[in-house]
Amino acid sequence: MIDIEYYYDPEYQNFLLSSKRRELTPPETVLKHFSLKDVQNIVDFGMGLGFWTETLLKSIHKEGWVWGAECNQDFLDEVLHWKNRDDIQRFTPFYMEKADRPLLPEWIPVPEVIFASLVLSTFADPGQAMDGLIRSMKKGGKLIVLDWVKNEYPVGPRINDKISLDKMKFLAEQYKLEIIKTVRISENVYGLEIQSGPEFEYGYYDLREEETYSEELIRS
């Protein structure tokens, strides 16, 4: 079982705003590998307390918009307070319920990019999560994933709960996704750029049909 309690710990989230976080995922290194200058809409998936918000705003098109998705209402409240206090423009944080296959709400513009930093390893099946996110963006859009190298680190997930780069690539390929780029961000974090593969079929799942089918299997 994956231990995701660390993710909801305020001390961990505060760590993610610290200088130590900058050593893990230095923004200048990340943006050197993943260009966002023409992006109009980007989703910061698993926004937490907003470590990436200002960096993403500076990196996308001057009229582009950052949409911050977060499943923890306490974190979201803090970010909303910060947004209003500092009058941050071109940024909309929103609540998104955690699901095995996350699908973005239809009321936000369909993004060209989804940015997921240190969050996919909190899913039981990161491949399924990637599948849902790819379905939520424009065709040909890219999913940028930063996640933990499978070694010891004093904060964050236990080593057994980390997803190695090879495993993350394997999971993506299982869902007919194509790995465009892999990079080493730091000693403890890797990065991937992912798009739909040639055999990927777009379209939202009908979750109600899936649930009915699952119930029928259970009954049989």
Mean pLDDT of the chain: 89
**What's residue 13's pLDDT?**
77
- Three-class DSSP category at 100: coil
**What's residue 113's pLDDT?**
98
Look up tokens 């997921």; give the residue.
116
Q: 176 or 6, which is more confident?
A: 176
Q: What is the pLDDT of residues 47-93, one digit of tens each?
A: 999 999 999 999 999 999 999 999 999 999 999 999 999 999 999 99
What percent of the chain has pLDDT above 90?
78
Q: What is the pLDDT of residues 15-36, one digit of tens each?
A: 878 888 899 999 999 999 999 9
- Among the listed residues 132, 183, 140, the one whose alpha carbon sits nearest the alpha carbon of residue 38: 140
**What's residue 204's pLDDT?**
64
**What's residue 210's pLDDT?**
42
Position 143 pLDDT exceeds 50:
yes
**What's residue 214's pLDDT?**
38
pLDDT band (50, 70, 90) for residue 3: low
Q: What is the pLDDT of residues 145-186, one digit of tens each?
A: 999 999 999 988 999 999 999 999 999 999 999 999 999 999
Position 139 pLDDT exceeds 90:
yes
**What's residue 213's pLDDT?**
36
Distance CA 19, CA 95 (A): 27
**What's residue 218's pLDDT?**
36
Q: Is residue 118 within 8 Å of 25, Cβ to Cβ?
A: yes
Residues 6+ apart with CB under 8 A from 179: 169, 172, 173, 192, 193, 194
Distance CA 202, CA 134 (A): 8
